[in-house]
Amino acid sequence: MNDFEAGDTLIDAFRHANPVPGEAAAGRRARPSAHALFAEIVAQPSRRAPRRPVIAVVLIGVVLVAGVLAAFAVVDRGRPDVAASARCYEQPNLSSRSIVVAGPDLRTACAQLFENGDLGNGVVPSTFDVCVSDTGAPVVFPAESGSVCAALGLATANPSNLDIRVRAFESQVVSAVQDDCIGYDQAHDVVEQYLDRFGLHGWTVELSPDAAPFSDAAPCASLAFPAANTVTIVPVPDLHATGTS
């Protein structure tokens, strides 16, 4: 008969069935090496791989790009579009009558329209405010400088950029005319084509009144810009034939 008797409890039965004496196990648990092993296991860092915040990184990138684009739009809004036609308005609002203007000084060009009676009642406003429309075109209003743009929700035009279209026109048309030796009629046609390409309307293209006529000695066209909205064609010698630069 085994050591388990009917009067023993279940716990006593398990104790009798344990092949390792309780005294031996208790001794091993009390050994310093056991405590050291337990401390080493507890001290080990978790081996769980960190979760990479991929979505957070992507969102941060999107926000940064959007911020850069928004900043660029704000900074660039005051620069007129060189391909858009400038307009002079009869009243300080966008619903009033307007006429296309051009030239290095839009205020002067607008004042000329009022003086000629094309706008208003013949009275030339003393000041003009120049803004940039939503399309990027410069727009001129008869009002004190700085008083209209904010009221209409428009950007204030940077004065240093108002003549950018005219300067680009002058540079390109001079090259187109003077790269080869062409006469007056052909040069006149080229200038008109470039004026139309740059949206510069109402300009005068004429033979320079102070120049000698075209001749064998001066068969080639050259250009000059003596006044606002004016291009004069000047005859010069054929530098291409002589090799002179």
Residue-range domain boundaries for the chain = 10-43, 54-160, 164-242
Cα–Cα dist 124/113, whole Å? 9
pLDDT at 92 over 90: yes
pLDDT at 71 over 60: no
Cα–Cα dist 155/201, whole Å? 24
Mean pLDDT value across residues 32-45 = 59
For the chain, the average pLDDT equals 75
User: What's the whole-model pTM score?
Assistant: 0.40
pLDDT at 98 over 80: yes
pLDDT of residue 164: 67
pLDDT band for position 23 (cuts 50, 70, 90): low
pLDDT at 34 over 80: no
- Strand residues in the chain grouped as ranges (E): 86-89, 98-101, 129-132, 138-141, 155-156, 204-207, 220-224, 230-236
In the chain, the percentage of residues whose pLDDT exceeds 70 is 60
- Burial string for 186-199 (b: 16+ CB within 10 Å, else e) reads ebbebbeebbeebb
CA 208 to chain centre: 41
- Looking at residue 153, the DSSP 8-state letter turns out to be T
Tokens at 222, concatenated:
């050259």
pLDDT of residue 199: 75
78: which residues sit within 8 A by CB, 6+ positions away?
132, 155, 156, 157, 158, 161
Name the residue with higher pLDDT: 58 or 239.
239
- Contact between 98 and 223 (Cβ < 8 Å): no
pLDDT at 77 over 50: no
Cα–Cα dist 188/223, whole Å? 10
pLDDT at 97 over 70: yes
Please write the tens of the pLDDT for every residue from 182-241.
999 999 999 999 988 877 778 899 999 888 889 999 999 999 988 878 899 999 998 877
Cα–Cα dist 205/239, whole Å? 23
